[in-house]
Every structure is written in C-alpha cells, then in structure tokens.
Amino acid sequence: MNVGQRVTVVHGLPPTGHEIAVVRAVRGGKVEVQLRDGAGGIVTVPADMIDAGNIHTGTARARSTDPETAHLAAIAANETLSDHERIVLAAFYEVGRAGLIDHELESRCSLIQTSGGVRRKALRDRGLVEPTGEKRLTPSKRYAAVHRITARGIAVHQIVSRGAA
C-alpha cells in the first residue's frame, strides 16, 4: 500500500461493513487511513482490514482529481448484472468481511443453493467476489468454501443499487 492510495477498509460493522478510505501512513502492520464517509476522520486499522484491490478498474476511467462518485461510476460503467446476480451481490455486500457459503446464499436470497452458487461463480469470475480460504459446515455436515465481496464488488454494488432505487 502506498500513501495516497484509495483502499477499502472492511470492518463488518453496520450500516455497510466497509468504508472507502485514502492511505495516510503505513507503520508496522498498521495502516492510517482517512475515511471517505463524509466525516473524513483519520483512523489507524490493522493491515488485514484493508482490501487494497484496485477499485478503479474497468474500461471507463476517472481522473485522480475527480470525486469519489466518478471513480465508482467508472468501475460500474461496463458491469451488467442479472436480477439474480444483483440479489447475490447484495447479500455479499450486507455481510461484509464475514462472507457466505452457497447454502447461506440460499436462505438470504430465496434462491436454491445451486442457483445461488452459479451466480456466485459468475460474480467471482468477474472479480466481484473472492474465496477467503476459509471453509464452513453445510447443513449436510460437509465443508464449503467461504466467499466475500471484493473492493470492485463493493463499488459495483453501490452504483447498481443507486440505479435500482
């Protein structure tokens, strides 16, 4: 991480579970960030709470001097999600860093487990969700991979949900 880099602080707390921030300093496993949540407060968080994925990807571009909304719009400009993909992405957004297994998608999204899994895979292939490396027990006592939303997924969800409102 570099000073001035835009990152996502994934904290899992309401209302969103994450905040977009700008890196102010990096010292011994701790990152000082200035939150972009309106209050603009400066906080120090453990480095593992930072998703430093490139939140400014995609074909559309925004200048470094453009407001945050322009960067989010650039990310989402080329993303088209089906209704079910929107529902699944929203579920990942709601749980934040905790992530979900496909069986949990079933109960949260009112989709059968295999349908939720197909949508989760499509979102993973597009870089909107990622495996955490963790596993959880399913109702049948088998282990399933946990996935969580990425910084790109957060940005796409924010833009797509604004457009749906």
Cα gap 18→71, rounded to integer Å: 17
β-bridge mates for residue 56, sequence order? none
pTM of the model: 0.57
Q: Determine contact, residues 96/148, Cβ cutoff 8 Å.
A: yes
Per-residue pLDDT of the chain (165 residues; tens, 9 = 90+): 677 777 766 555 444 555 667 777 777 767 777 765 444 566 666 666 665 543 333 345 566 667 766 666 665 555 667 888 989 999 999 999 899 999 999 889 888 878 888 999 999 988 889 999 999 999 999 999 999 998 888 878 887 777 654
Domain range enclosing 41 = 1-52
Residue 127 to residue 151: CA distance in whole angstroms: 9
Residues 112 and 147 reside in one and the same domain: yes
Q: What is the CATH number of the domain that holds 13?
A: 2.30.30.140
Q: How far apart are CA 17 and CA 149, in angstroms?
A: 11
Inside any domain, residue 71: no
Answer whether residue 25 is part of any domain. yes
CB 131 within 8 A of CB 32: no
Taking only the tens place, the pLDDT of each residue in 67-104 is 766 666 665 555 667 888 989 999 999 999 899 999 99
